[in-house]
Amino acid sequence: MKKLINDPADVVSEALRGIALAHPDHVRVDHENRIVYRKDAPRSGKVGLISGGGSGHEPMHGGFVGPGMLDAACAGEVFTSPVPDQMMAATKEVDGGAGVLHIVKNYTGDVMNFEMAAELAAAEAGTEVLSVVTDDDVAVQDSLYTAGRRGVGVTVLLEKIVGAAAEEGRPLQEVADLAKKVNAQGRSMGMALTSCTVPAAGKPTFELAENEMEVGIGIHGEPGRQRLPLAPAKDVAALLVDPVLQDLPYQQGDSVIAFVNGMGGTPLIELYVMYNEVRQLLDAAGITVARSLVGNYITSLEMAGCSVTLLKVDDELVRLWDAPVNTPGLRWGA
């Protein structure tokens, strides 16, 4: 195992110290509870937005804390859900009197612990909490970590769009309904060229031969739909885009945000090669790309590979996407 770490047991706490030191203008960090907060949270009269999950997916979620996105992110151990006490502390801290929305990826531990935290916050502080669960991965119905579909790339787009709506001062129920709309209109699928190595494990999560790729992989190294011989980018793009288009289904004339995401170990030049192929497939299907996003935003440590997310949008969603955002991991218009 070759990693730029000290002790595997200290990776998360030391990374959080690094985040706090690198981005003091954006965030403050509660190191005891491992929570990244927007520097000016809570904001009076604004719906608080909280997400979180296992570490190892950076910049998700701590890198998306700041104006225009999240108010707080709870960091679990690598690929391990945060605990309810973390989530409850974050919920109470960001409540500015307008309630709090939990944005939860559909992994069993995350869903269970966020539910428990919402109940505790309501009982102890009277905080009104609503939740939305993202489940956009079309690859498999159930996995090692989930009942139902996994929450992946749509989570990034949802946090941005819903963050803009909360910034406008919209009420909690309206913000939650918008989040559910975004989740319902987005689909994703990913693939891997290599495994990743969890620091505490010290060895790759799975083995792939030099001439193999895994299609439909999960962000924790969960198995995909199929293991296939390595193929050119053009063929890989079709293996990801076609199932996504068929699932919603997307139709000729639809307008989308097209998101090509790196899993952590794929260089940007290859992600742009993939985006070129994705655009050609969408053009051929008569689908208009209203906005695009390319880069490493929801990763799986150093896994080589990528995912494709398509979000069907209307004028309102595009306007909210374009609204200013100022976080360590995503920034424009600010």
Annotated active-site residue in 23, 26, 57, 61: 57
The span from the CA of 264 to the CA of 306, in Å, is 8
The span from the CA of 168 to the CA of 175, in Å, is 10
Whether 31 sits among the annotated catalytic residues: the reply is no
Residue count (the chain) = 334
Positive or negative: CA dihedral 322, 110, 250, 212: positive
The span from the CA of 90 to the CA of 76, in Å, is 13
Q: Are 310 and 189 in contact (CB under 8 A)?
A: no
Q: Find residue 38's DSSP bridge partners.
A: 27
Q: Are 218 and 196 in contact (CB under 8 A)?
A: no
Positive or negative: CA dihedral 120, 125, 130, 134: negative
Whether 57 sits among the annotated catalytic residues: the reply is yes
Side-chain-facing half-sphere of 86: CA atoms under 13 Å: 26
Closest CA to 78 of 10, 2, 147: 10
The span from the CA of 75 to the CA of 52, in Å, is 6
Annotated active-site residue in 26, 61, 102, 220: 220
Residue numbers annotated as active site? 57, 220
